[in-house]
Amino acid sequence: MMMARVGYLNLALAALLVICAIQLAYGSIRLNTIAPPEPREFSSSAFEVVRVKEQGSTPIVLNELMERPLFWSERRPYEPPVVVEPEKQPEKQPDPGEKVFKDTQLLGIYAGGQHPGVILLHKDKRIRLNQQDTLEGWTLDTLNERSAEFVSASERYRMEIQYPKVNFSQQPNN
Protein backbone atom coordinates (compact mmCIF):
# COMPACT_ATOMS: atom_id res chain seq x y z
CA MET A 1 0.00 0.00 0.00
CA MET A 2 2.85 2.29 0.84
CA MET A 3 4.53 1.33 -2.38
CA ALA A 4 1.44 2.21 -4.42
CA ARG A 5 1.35 5.69 -2.89
CA VAL A 6 4.99 6.27 -3.77
CA GLY A 7 4.27 5.18 -7.34
CA TYR A 8 1.36 7.63 -7.64
CA LEU A 9 3.52 10.34 -6.15
CA ASN A 10 6.28 9.67 -8.69
CA LEU A 11 3.71 9.68 -11.49
CA ALA A 12 2.21 13.00 -10.30
CA LEU A 13 5.69 14.54 -9.99
CA ALA A 14 6.61 13.37 -13.49
CA ALA A 15 3.36 14.81 -14.90
CA LEU A 16 4.06 18.12 -13.15
CA LEU A 17 7.59 18.24 -14.61
CA VAL A 18 6.24 17.51 -18.10
CA ILE A 19 3.67 20.32 -17.75
CA CYS A 20 6.39 22.75 -16.58
CA ALA A 21 8.65 21.76 -19.49
CA ILE A 22 5.80 22.25 -21.99
CA GLN A 23 4.96 25.65 -20.44
CA LEU A 24 8.61 26.73 -20.56
CA ALA A 25 8.99 25.66 -24.19
CA TYR A 26 5.72 27.36 -25.22
CA GLY A 27 6.68 30.59 -23.42
CA SER A 28 10.14 30.80 -24.99
CA ILE A 29 8.81 30.05 -28.49
CA ARG A 30 6.05 32.65 -28.09
CA LEU A 31 8.49 35.24 -26.75
CA ASN A 32 10.78 34.80 -29.75
CA THR A 33 7.99 34.91 -32.36
CA ILE A 34 6.01 37.92 -31.06
CA ALA A 35 6.67 41.16 -32.94
CA PRO A 36 7.67 44.10 -30.72
CA PRO A 37 5.00 46.76 -30.20
CA GLU A 38 4.82 49.66 -32.64
CA PRO A 39 6.33 52.92 -31.37
CA ARG A 40 3.80 55.60 -30.47
CA GLU A 41 4.08 59.31 -31.04
CA PHE A 42 3.86 61.43 -27.93
CA SER A 43 0.90 63.75 -27.69
CA SER A 44 1.58 67.38 -26.91
CA SER A 45 -0.37 67.05 -23.69
CA ALA A 46 2.39 64.81 -22.31
CA PHE A 47 4.71 67.82 -22.21
CA GLU A 48 2.29 70.35 -20.68
CA VAL A 49 2.80 71.26 -17.07
CA VAL A 50 -0.40 71.49 -15.11
CA ARG A 51 -0.51 73.96 -12.25
CA VAL A 52 -1.72 72.43 -9.04
CA LYS A 53 -3.38 74.70 -6.54
CA GLU A 54 -2.09 74.08 -3.07
CA GLN A 55 -4.85 73.43 -0.61
CA GLY A 56 -2.95 73.46 2.63
CA SER A 57 -3.58 75.38 5.79
CA THR A 58 -2.22 78.86 5.68
CA PRO A 59 -0.27 80.19 8.67
CA ILE A 60 -3.09 82.65 9.39
CA VAL A 61 -5.63 79.84 9.77
CA LEU A 62 -3.24 77.82 11.92
CA ASN A 63 -2.60 80.81 14.17
CA GLU A 64 -6.32 81.32 14.56
CA LEU A 65 -6.81 77.68 15.53
CA MET A 66 -4.11 78.05 18.16
CA GLU A 67 -5.75 81.19 19.54
CA ARG A 68 -9.23 79.62 19.64
CA PRO A 69 -8.87 75.95 20.69
CA LEU A 70 -11.97 73.89 19.99
CA PHE A 71 -12.71 72.37 23.42
CA TRP A 72 -11.72 75.16 25.78
CA SER A 73 -14.35 76.78 27.96
CA GLU A 74 -12.79 80.19 27.26
CA ARG A 75 -13.33 79.78 23.51
CA ARG A 76 -14.66 82.96 21.97
CA PRO A 77 -16.61 83.33 18.72
CA TYR A 78 -14.84 83.97 15.44
CA GLU A 79 -14.35 87.61 14.59
CA PRO A 80 -13.55 88.14 10.93
CA PRO A 81 -10.61 90.43 10.28
CA VAL A 82 -11.43 94.02 9.45
CA VAL A 83 -10.75 94.78 5.81
CA VAL A 84 -9.28 98.21 5.31
CA GLU A 85 -9.69 99.59 1.84
CA PRO A 86 -6.47 101.05 0.51
CA GLU A 87 -6.42 104.76 -0.09
CA LYS A 88 -6.65 105.82 -3.67
CA GLN A 89 -3.28 106.73 -5.03
CA PRO A 90 -3.08 110.12 -6.67
CA GLU A 91 -2.84 109.83 -10.41
CA LYS A 92 0.69 109.19 -11.46
CA GLN A 93 2.29 111.93 -13.46
CA PRO A 94 3.44 110.72 -16.87
CA ASP A 95 7.11 109.90 -16.97
CA PRO A 96 8.99 112.57 -18.95
CA GLY A 97 10.90 109.91 -20.88
CA GLU A 98 7.74 108.13 -22.01
CA LYS A 99 7.22 110.61 -24.83
CA VAL A 100 10.69 110.10 -26.31
CA PHE A 101 11.06 106.40 -25.53
CA LYS A 102 7.49 105.38 -26.38
CA ASP A 103 8.57 103.71 -29.65
CA THR A 104 11.93 102.53 -28.27
CA GLN A 105 12.93 99.09 -27.07
CA LEU A 106 16.22 98.12 -25.40
CA LEU A 107 17.53 95.13 -27.37
CA GLY A 108 20.92 94.63 -25.78
CA ILE A 109 23.74 95.95 -23.65
CA TYR A 110 27.40 95.55 -24.48
CA ALA A 111 30.16 96.32 -22.04
CA GLY A 112 33.24 94.95 -23.74
CA GLY A 113 36.12 97.20 -24.61
CA GLN A 114 36.54 100.86 -23.77
CA HIS A 115 33.13 102.03 -25.00
CA PRO A 116 30.19 100.29 -23.33
CA GLY A 117 26.77 100.99 -24.78
CA VAL A 118 23.35 99.76 -25.81
CA ILE A 119 21.51 98.62 -28.88
CA LEU A 120 18.07 100.19 -29.24
CA LEU A 121 15.15 99.69 -31.60
CA HIS A 122 14.01 103.31 -32.00
CA LYS A 123 11.15 104.02 -34.40
CA ASP A 124 11.81 100.72 -36.25
CA LYS A 125 15.55 101.44 -36.68
CA ARG A 126 18.38 99.73 -34.82
CA ILE A 127 20.67 102.25 -33.14
CA ARG A 128 23.92 101.74 -31.21
CA LEU A 129 24.57 104.28 -28.48
CA ASN A 130 27.81 104.44 -26.52
CA GLN A 131 27.79 105.68 -22.96
CA GLN A 132 27.37 109.50 -22.83
CA ASP A 133 25.84 109.60 -26.37
CA THR A 134 22.51 111.42 -26.73
CA LEU A 135 19.19 110.49 -28.30
CA GLU A 136 16.65 113.30 -28.72
CA GLY A 137 18.07 115.24 -25.77
CA TRP A 138 18.51 112.20 -23.48
CA THR A 139 22.05 111.10 -22.59
CA LEU A 140 22.92 107.45 -21.92
CA ASP A 141 24.26 107.65 -18.38
CA THR A 142 24.32 104.34 -16.48
CA LEU A 143 24.45 100.73 -17.67
CA ASN A 144 23.52 97.67 -15.65
CA GLU A 145 23.37 94.06 -16.76
CA ARG A 146 19.62 94.32 -17.57
CA SER A 147 18.88 98.05 -17.78
CA ALA A 148 20.12 101.40 -19.01
CA GLU A 149 19.44 104.85 -17.57
CA PHE A 150 19.08 107.99 -19.62
CA VAL A 151 19.40 111.53 -18.21
CA SER A 152 17.94 114.80 -19.45
CA ALA A 153 18.45 117.89 -17.30
CA SER A 154 17.34 116.64 -13.84
CA GLU A 155 15.09 113.86 -15.17
CA ARG A 156 16.03 110.16 -15.28
CA TYR A 157 14.48 107.40 -17.38
CA ARG A 158 15.28 103.73 -16.94
CA MET A 159 14.77 101.11 -19.67
CA GLU A 160 14.92 97.37 -19.08
CA ILE A 161 15.69 94.66 -21.61
CA GLN A 162 12.47 92.98 -22.66
CA TYR A 163 12.97 89.42 -23.73
CA PRO A 164 10.48 87.91 -26.18
CA LYS A 165 7.97 85.51 -24.72
CA VAL A 166 8.33 82.00 -26.13
CA ASN A 167 5.23 79.84 -26.46
CA PHE A 168 6.25 76.20 -26.07
CA SER A 169 2.73 74.85 -26.58
CA GLN A 170 2.80 75.39 -30.35
CA GLN A 171 3.96 72.45 -32.41
CA PRO A 172 6.27 73.03 -35.38
CA ASN A 173 4.80 72.50 -38.82
CA ASN A 174 6.22 69.41 -40.49
d(CA 95, CA 92): 8
DSSP per-residue letters across 11-77: HHHHHHHHHHHHHHHHHHHHHHHSPPPPP-PPPGGGGPPPP-------HHHHHHHHHS-TT-TT---
Span 11-53, pLDDT tens digits: 999 999 999 999 999 999 998 888 888 888 888 777 788 777 7
pLDDT at 22: 97
Exposed / middle / buried, residue 116 (Cβ in 10 Å: 0-12, 13-18, 19+)? middle
Residue 138 belongs to what H/E stretch?
A: strand 138-143
Distance, C-alpha 116 to centroid of its chain: 33
* Separation CA 29–CA 109 (nearest Å): 68
Q: What is the pLDDT of residue 18?
A: 97
Give strand pairing partners of 143: 148
**Alpha carbon distance 149, 105 (integer Å):** 13
**Residues of the chain scoring pLDDT < 70:** 1-3, 54-69, 92-97, 164-174
Q: What is the pLDDT of residue 14?
A: 96
pLDDT for position 46: 75
Q: What is the predicted pLDDT for the residue at 43?
A: 80
**Gap between the terminal Cα atoms of the chain:** 81
